[in-house]
Amino acid sequence: MKIKRSIVAVAAFTAAALSLVGCGSSSKSNSSNTATSTAAGASSKASAGPKVTSINYWYWQDVTTDQTINNLAAEFKKKTGITVNITDSVAYPQFYDKLINSIAAGNAPDATHVNTNMLGQLEASHALAPLDSYINSWSGKDTIAPAMWGYVKSPDGKTTYAMPNKFLMFYMFYRKDIFQADGITSFPKTQADFVAMDKKLYNPSKHQYGFDIRGGTGGQDQWAAWLAAGGAQFLDSSGNVAFNSDATKKSNDLYISMSKYAPPGAVNDGYPQILANLKSGTSAVVINHLGGAKTLDAALGDKVGVALIPSLTGDPSQTTYMGTMNANAVLANSSKKEAAFEWISFLDSNEAQLAIANSPNGYLPVTKQAQQDPTLLANPNIAVSIEAAKGKTTSWPAIPGTTVASTKTWEPLFQGAVLGKNSNDAVVEGIANALKTGQ
């Protein structure tokens, strides 16, 4: 099965961000130059019919007490008179199923948050409205870093189905104090060395374990990020699924081998558990992204360090690191598409992007101006994210099979491998087959 899908690079992001490090510009000056938040074409279209006074928007967040989006919705209402009714009570693991059920039932929102893992199936199902005509008449189009658009286009690159909103790169958080106590003076660069270190960290008599494998819901991203750094490819240069290579299987073996050094119950761990284990010292290392950075920094201070994911070669310039995009889309069946686009384009204004990047959830911004903000660039979590984005990057491909592979196929096969119910290779082969067939 041939799928023409280019792997997205974010070198443009990195170049723009690095060019102004230490340039002396401030957050205040960036905010005063905020890009227009109104969709130029959308406003004129909306005014032709009855005035839209409200839209429904679905959204998930890792830090559930974060009020940033609610505050931005209040600001949006001041600017436009449109109330955004936000539903944010559904956690990420259940979000896709709830969205699909709402579409089938005819009560879907007007706009919704989506992840790269969801896009392929939603596009294939014609559930999302094409946005190109709105984007082309939006005055803020050129404020978005060019590389960000690749995450939200159709597999053939011809149609844009979402607005880039919150960009992430996966990297490692580790307990510097535990490393120091165990005589580990540097973070391993190769995956083989990391596994050897992981064994050294394992000390159940002290209730101390090594790397938390996150075998529960959502753990497919951490696993895939490790495999990508180990040489795995989702697709080859021709767009064919290439995930069952020898490099993929070798890196998968190393990852699963660390289950014996992981905290008890790690086979079922989700996002809250891996953060809790690292904070308590039950685990010494996790893979995550900026979404957990502020929570860990607040709890651990200078006890927490960050590092690139160890790779096959140990050379970052020869390593592919994995990223993801949380985007915003307009539902195809919405009767308020123009107003919905006005809202999601407002969330891509520089003002909104800085607010989101500085929020408790925390993400890499998608606007060129916000990416150059010196306050953000001084953050070690931002710095390691940019380091990961310097060279070749990958993400779950926006093909129909990704949704099934990442949300349905991975967890039972991975847990089965850890528990000895199926082989390690079955995980890789199952994901490759799901990517190809969507089943």
| Fold of the 23-169+324-393 domain | D-Maltodextrin-Binding Protein; domain 2 (3.40.190)
pLDDT per residue over 424-436, tens digit each?
999 999 999 999 9
Average the pLDDT over 374-403 and give the result: 89
Average the pLDDT over 76-98 and give the result: 93
| Fold of the 171-322+396-437 domain | D-Maltodextrin-Binding Protein; domain 2 (3.40.190)
Q: Of the spans 6-20, 210-224, 370-384, which averages the highest pLDDT?
A: 210-224
What is the per-residue pLDDT for 386?
A: 86
CA distance 271 to 280: 15
What is the per-residue pLDDT for 211?
A: 98
What is the per-residue pLDDT for 49?
A: 52
User: Facing residues of 323 across strands?
Assistant: 169
Range from 32-46, 249-263, 415-429 carrying the lowest mean pLDDT: 32-46
CA distance 156 to 3: 8
pLDDT per residue over 318-366, tens digit each?
999 999 999 999 999 999 999 999 999 999 999 999 999 988 888 899 9
pLDDT at 25 over 50: no
pLDDT per residue over 110-167, tens digit each?
999 999 888 888 998 999 999 999 999 999 999 999 889 988 988 788 999 999 999 9
CA distance 57 to 44: 21
What is the per-residue pLDDT for 22?
A: 32
DSSP letter string, 372-398? T-HHHHTSHHHHHHHHHTSS-EE---S
| pTM of the full structure | 0.79
What is the per-residue pLDDT for 50?
A: 64
pLDDT per residue over 157-197, tens digit each?
899 999 999 999 999 999 999 999 999 999 999 999 999 99
For the chain, the domains span: 23-169+324-393, 171-322+396-437
Q: Identical fold at 23-169+324-393 and 171-322+396-437?
A: yes
Contact 295, 118 (CB under 8 A): no
Higher pLDDT, residue 28 or 310: 310
Q: Which two tokens stand for residue 333?
A: 């069946």
Higher pLDDT, residue 50 or 224: 224
> Contacts for 232-238 with beta carbons within 8 Å, 24 or more apart?
233/320, 233/394, 234/7, 234/394, 234/396, 234/397, 234/435, 235/3, 235/5, 235/7, 235/397, 238/2, 238/4
